[in-house]
A and B are shown apart, each in its own frame.
Chain A
């Protein structure tokens, strides 16, 4: 995760790519990670399919259902990551809902993530109030528990969450679920500025980012972008190359 701090200091923007593990079969995951690494993404968020993904929109839900149909589980995904012999030189994050983690065992989850080389976890239905359920176990393994903040997060909560933030902060750009959107509202810009001003760690904008116009709008106010549905869609359609310009638009160095 220090990589992300360094990136922030250098002024370059991070591009975090979300993929649904096992969409199209778990054997595709390796190729997808290698591809994304090659085209220059900063980090990869590996989604674990869940039967009731209430924070996700139709694209990711459908991808999760395809993966579930192929029998993909948290255990299988972590075992797959552990089996890789090629070099993963960017941070890998795991995004999963709480129930699969509880079912797997929180402590076991932390140790297996560690063995799999995972550097951070995102659990969208584990709010700040209940993070002690997972935090001590991931702390023990040196894995970061990434916190989310949203447009509806009150100022007092924002302060509390940012005070304990680690790795990076996942700043949600929409009042809603994941999924590509055409317009990005102007108050998002002010929100990002506020979060970034207070955050001790890099601030990445996520949910609904799918176009260079979104990146252009927020570029100066965040340290990076998380792109999910657009990537999941492109992988599913077999045309991931169409997103390369978006990836490069983020990661290319910009002179001031």
Chain B
């Protein structure tokens, strides 16, 4: 896909607006867009890691260029003057050389450039190339310029950039004056330009690099890089393979029991007095929660990769049970790490895993909950990487896990979309799902991301309250950080030590959040709210009595928020709740906490 460079940035708000761009340009040559090294260095702090920082120079000395590269720091250099080949060769970072194009002869010169990339532009006055005028793109036809080296600039705007890409198929497009209003950068135009190039598809912007905006990545020890890369390649392959999809859906229907109904909740609708409420029934899956959708997908993939040993971690135990179940089904060796604290809270699930033939390893370190179980599973994977697949249970971890888990869970949202269109003839007004790591939520939301009229709401665990130190509200209270292979939002202290999360629900007390959720929160596409332990427990009772469905504690967070949300909605509107799992596993907690309430 063609990359986007937004050039001549001078203000932080415009740098922020360009966060989805692939490259940002700073002009160090005399120009009305000129910035100093210090200014560019300050702006660069707001640019995502995976975005190139390109410095634009006109006939600068090597020393000047080197000082600027180190000072900002820059990842590429763009030359607009009459720089000699020696200079081009001497620059340590990749170099873009700019050329003004009037005729076919001008185009011929491009081939002689020693630079890594060549930028073509209309002749300008301000500095060479930067006229803001469009040149005749057809001059590039048939001259044998390698499109993977080609950067097209010159008079591009949100209106004409798609045509420019279609005609020239360049590596990158470069815009400056085309996203300005009255000679100043314009946030709305920057966003529109990027949207035009990237076709407004979240999917297209991330999967190539493993980042969602600035979140994601592959931050794992070198020992795991081979496995992570192999998995990335294998997943890319099966994603396009209809046979794989056929096999996956075969097991979903014949073994899991899909598709799951979208149940109209008549009594909840009446009780809440607002919108029509529908429940997406992931609680009806074999093993009792959405987790099995992903476990089947990853197990099939592991077998394709020739791996017959599985390691997994689990918090509430639902992912552990799903994994142990699938390992039994496919005769795979299975080790599950679980925090000692969670083992106590979820004894029934521990027994289920053992009965299914899995080895359950108790983790006594740290808070002895999910975070520590992930650490141990990662260590186990490091030591057994050659023959073992790490079956991550949420939309977390190094790329490709967040994307892959989302894709396997997207069956939830895809069915829901089709079902609501059948039942109501239109899309819903709001969708709610609980968020720990975020897999049921991202699976539910993803097929609706492009439907701007559908309000998406993720519900995290506020534990004893977001103003106490006992909560798991990562998006409400977290800050950027790297844990378990990805840059995401984290609960951490000032020194970058990851803090323990708390929730009455073992499945939600994780201090991080899937990177795609962090991105969706940043761009405002999904709104994240939080619900306390007490509110969730109250919702367990109300849902059980209104609908005869005892929800999992995780799900109860979404139910509690739905009751609040319903108050601001009308009778004509539609609200869907993802019932991520059933409450059997939480019965001991319910018995302990709800006796007085009932």
Are A100 and B496 in touch, CB under 8 angstroms? yes
Binds B, one of A1-9, A32-40, A150-158, A230-238: A150-158
CA of A57 to CA of B221 in the docked complex: distance in angstroms? 13
Are B481 and A102 in touch, CB under 8 angstroms? yes
Given contacts A140-B71, A176-B382, contact A51 B366 (CB under 8 A): yes
Binds A, one of B222-230, B291-299, B306-314, B588-596: B222-230
Binds A, one of B147-155, B212-220, B351-359, B514-522: B212-220
Is B415 on the interface with A (CB-CB < 8 A)? no
Are A100 and B221 in touch, CB under 8 angstroms? no
CA of A174 to CA of B574 in the docked complex: distance in angstroms? 56
Are B218 and A129 in touch, CB under 8 angstroms? yes
Binds B, one of A10-18, A67-75, A83-91, A220-228: A67-75
CB proximity of A212 to chain B, nearest CB, Å: 25
Closest to A56 in B: B379
- Tell me the residues in window 120-139 of chain A with beta carbons closer than 8 Å to chain B beta carbons: 124-130, 132-133, 136-137, 139
Are A54 and B225 in touch, CB under 8 angstroms? no
Are B496 and A133 in touch, CB under 8 angstroms? no
Is A252 on the interface with B (CB-CB < 8 A)? no
Is B365 on the interface with A (CB-CB < 8 A)? yes
Are B222 and A127 in touch, CB under 8 angstroms? yes
Partner of A175, one of B219, B386, B485: B386
Is A101 on the interface with B (CB-CB < 8 A)? yes
Is A55 on the interface with B (CB-CB < 8 A)? yes
Is A26 on the interface with B (CB-CB < 8 A)? no
Is A201 on the interface with B (CB-CB < 8 A)? no
Is B60 on the interface with A (CB-CB < 8 A)? no
Cβ contacts under 8 Å, B371 to chain A: 52
CA of A151 to CA of B383 in the docked complex: distance in angstroms? 11
Is B492 on the interface with A (CB-CB < 8 A)? yes
Cβ contacts under 8 Å, A52 to chain B: 366, 371, 375, 483-484, 498
* B interface, size bucket: 35 or more
Interface string of B121-154 (1 = CB under 8 A from A): 0000000000000000000000000000000000
Is B188 on the interface with A (CB-CB < 8 A)? no
Closest to B366 in A: A51
Cβ contacts under 8 Å, A172 to chain B: 222-223
- Tell me the residues in window 481-521 of chain B with beta carbons closer than 8 Å to chain A beta carbons: 481-485, 490, 492, 494-499
- Tell me the residues in window 89-117 of chain A with beta carbons closer than 8 Å to chain B beta carbons: 97-104, 107
Are A51 and B498 in touch, CB under 8 angstroms? yes
Are B221 and A55 in touch, CB under 8 angstroms? yes
Given contacts A99-B481, A102-B496, A140-B71, contact A176 B223 (CB under 8 A): yes
Closest to A103 in B: B496
Partner of A130, one of B75, B217, B383, B484: B217
Partner of A157, one of B225, B378, B480, B497: B225
Are A148 and B495 in touch, CB under 8 angstroms? no
Are B482 and A98 in touch, CB under 8 angstroms? yes
CA of A209 to CA of B386 in the docked complex: distance in angstroms? 22
Cβ contacts under 8 Å, A177 to chain B: 379, 382-383
CA of A53 to CA of B221 in the docked complex: distance in angstroms? 10
Is B70 on the interface with A (CB-CB < 8 A)? yes
Partner of A102, one of B375, B482, B494: B482
Interface string of A152-181 (1 = CB under 8 A from B): 111001000000000000001011110000
CB proximity of A57 to chain B, nearest CB, Å: 8
Partner of B497, one of A50, A102, A176: A50
Is A23 on the interface with B (CB-CB < 8 A)? no
Q: Give 15 CB contacts A-B under 8 Å.
A: A51-B497, A52-B371, A52-B483, A53-B375, A54-B375, A73-B495, A99-B498, A102-B496, A136-B72, A136-B74, A139-B73, A148-B221, A152-B226, A153-B222, A177-B379
List the 7 shortest-distance A-B pairs measured between CB atoms, nearest first: A103-B496, A136-B73, A176-B383, A100-B496, A73-B495, A55-B221, A152-B226
Other A-B contacts than A51-B366, A130-B219, A150-B221, 8 sampled, CB-CB below 8 A, are A52-B375, A73-B495, A100-B496, A129-B225, A133-B49, A140-B71, A172-B222, A175-B385
Give residues in B with beta carbon < 8 Å to A.
45, 49, 69-75, 217-227, 229, 365-366, 371, 375, 378-379, 382-386, 480-485, 490, 492, 494-499
Give residues in A with beta carbon < 8 Å to B.
50-55, 57, 61, 65, 68, 73-75, 97-104, 107, 124-130, 132-133, 136-137, 139-140, 148-154, 157, 172, 174-177
